[in-house]
Amino acid sequence: MTLTSKLTAGAATAALTLGAAAPAIAADKWDMPMAYSASNFHSENGVAFAECVGAGTNDEITIEVHPGGSLFAGADIKRAIQTGQVQIGERLLSGHQNESAVFGFDSVPFLAPSFDDSEKLYTAAKPRIETLLDEQNLELLYAVPWPPQGLYFKKEVNSVADMEGIKFRSYNNTTSRLAELTGMLPVTVEAAEISQAFATGVAESMVSSGATGYDRKVWESLTHFYEVDAWLPRNYVMVNQDVWAEVSDANKEAIRACAAEAEARGLEASKAYTQFTMDGLAAGGMTVQPAGDGLMAELREIGETMTTEWLEAAGDEGQALIDDFKAMQ
């Protein structure tokens, strides 16, 4: 069974349970933009969630998923939900640290480099994220982590000195700062544009999971993937609060149940996708290996600098978040 069919089967089970024999009424159609390709596990999970919502609300609410940045580019999705251009959507919130440094909690280097630590960190952060989103007319439904982030290059890299002058794809404040501290040149590239950016030389490197590289077939342009487990950023599915206020209590319950299943299903898919996609990169011809001890030591030193900077930007709220996380260890 493929990942897609597994996801859909799980959603169907939840939907059949939730959608018991309510009278049919005219459907309320929601558009759900997503930044990543239709084959990406986040997008597959979004489709399964949408199917669950349709069945769980007896088609009173139907959701059309628009993957691959086809409706809005990734950077524009959050704003589109806030302003009511769409009802619902998915966005990587660490891309909005300019609004609040707290949004970048899941991209602090080496703070939570495993799935277990990532879940604990999210537990500490979630109430704070929900408060921030509430102030922006957004209701959080679910969040799913990416696999651990590694470094992609088109040559062998054994030290930070080897990175000097390389054009580095950035997607948030953290990745731009990482480029600066390693001597690379940050270039903003949306997920949907990654393949073209590497093929044309606009970018020559990135920090991302095996999933992104696998989905975009980056082995056509890049040669090396180094496992560094830097952080596990999250994608968040949010709904416009004005839209949410018009949803019946029964349908809210159904949607929340579908969201809970999507969050659990997405986490398991991310775990499964980690080794699968690294194997896929290797099969495509890339060298896939852990970063060497020397390089890791340099990266951890840079990570300490970035952690200090993030705490300064996030202030007392950021420190309280970290304290809550460390109390779970």
Report angle CA 169, 196, 281 to the nearest 5 degrees. 75
Question: What range does the domain containing 20 cover?
Answer: 3-146+233-277
CA 30 to each of CA 64, 76, 130, 256, 314: distance values in angstroms, whole numbers, following the listed order: 6, 17, 22, 16, 34
**Which is more confident, 293 or 19?**
293
Looking at the fold, whether 154 and 142 belong to one and the same domain comes out as no
Looking at the fold, whether 287 and 306 belong to one and the same domain comes out as yes
Looking at the fold, whether 113 and 98 belong to one and the same domain comes out as yes
Looking at the fold, whether 120 and 103 belong to one and the same domain comes out as yes
Q: How many domains does the chain have?
A: 2
**CA–CA dist 227, 207 (Å, integer):** 10
pLDDT of residue 325 exceeding 70: yes
* pLDDT tens-digit map of 104-148: 999 999 999 999 999 999 999 999 999 999 999 999 999 999 999
Give residue 259's Cα distance to chain centre. Answer: 16
Residue 171's pLDDT is 87
* pLDDT tens-digit map of 164-198: 999 999 988 999 999 999 999 999 998 889 999 99
- pLDDT, mean of residues 47-51: 98
Which candidate, 325, 101, 125, places its Cα nearest to that of 234? Answer: 125
pLDDT classification of 1: cutoffs 50, 70, 90:
very low
Helices (H) and strands (E) in the chain, counts: 10, 11
pLDDT of residue 8 exceeding 70: no
Looking at the fold, whether 220 and 262 belong to one and the same domain comes out as no
pLDDT of residue 210 exceeding 60: yes
Task: Return phi, psi of residue 192, to 5°.
Answer: -65, -15
Looking at the fold, whether 241 and 139 belong to one and the same domain comes out as yes
- Mean of the per-residue pLDDT values for the chain? 93
Looking at the fold, whether 51 and 199 belong to one and the same domain comes out as no
Looking at the fold, whether 142 and 219 belong to one and the same domain comes out as no
Report angle CA 313, 231, 155 to the nearest 5 degrees. 110
pTM of the shown model: 0.89
Q: pLDDT exceeding 70 applies to what percent of the chain?
A: 92
CATH code (residue 37): 3.40.190.170
* pLDDT tens-digit map of 10-35: 554 444 444 443 333 446 999 999 99
**CA–CA dist 329, 323 (Å, integer):** 10
- pLDDT, mean of residues 56-64: 98
Looking at the fold, whether 117 and 59 belong to one and the same domain comes out as yes
Residue 156's pLDDT is 98
Looking at the fold, whether 139 and 238 belong to one and the same domain comes out as yes
Residue 21's pLDDT is 38
Element (H, E) at 236: strand 234-240
Residue 27's pLDDT is 63
Looking at the fold, whether 314 and 183 belong to one and the same domain comes out as yes
